[in-house]
Structure 1
Amino acid sequence: MRVREDRVKATNRQHLLKEFENIKFKDGESIDYFAVRINSLVSRLRELGEEVKNGRIMRKVLRVVPKKWKQVAVSIEMLLDLDTMSI
């Protein structure tokens, strides 16, 4: 039974990692709501034993922001240390 549980966790982890890699802003979605969605996803990944660093999360958020926020995202990337930031 333990082996099956590990396989289920591994499968769930892979599914959530895929979801993390494919996450995008929905039409009209606010940055606050997107932050809640991505934090929820990261929490579930961490519960399954996946280490997701804050820098990776920040880079992902900045990579998928809507066009109207791209200049702000570029400025954040250039001026701040993403590895020390949290969403």
Structure 2
Amino acid sequence: MPSGTRFLAGLRLGNRTEREVAMATRAVDGSILFAKKLGGVFAMILGGLIAAIGANVASPVTIAIGVLFVIAGAILLVLKIIRRNEGGQVG
């Protein structure tokens, strides 16, 4: 291994520090995390509205679709949180 080369999780970093690599990863993932957050919130709001409309017209199928949207939105938010906290500890 050449001198000055570091390894992090099996990746050769050259002369970069772990912090530089972690910051670069966060910058790239930022838009993906933001999209997951907006998608999750939008799905939950839409699901709540669909479920409310289904309850108003007494349609169990519409209520189920609304609940599925709420669950999908919650999953997107949880995945976003897990992804954000995954690489939080550097050093």
Q: Which has the higher contact order (CA 8 A, sep 6+)?
A: 1
Kindly indicate which of the two structures has a greater share of residues assigned to strand. 2
Q: TM-score, normalised by structure 2?
A: 0.40
| Bigger radius of gyration among the two | 2
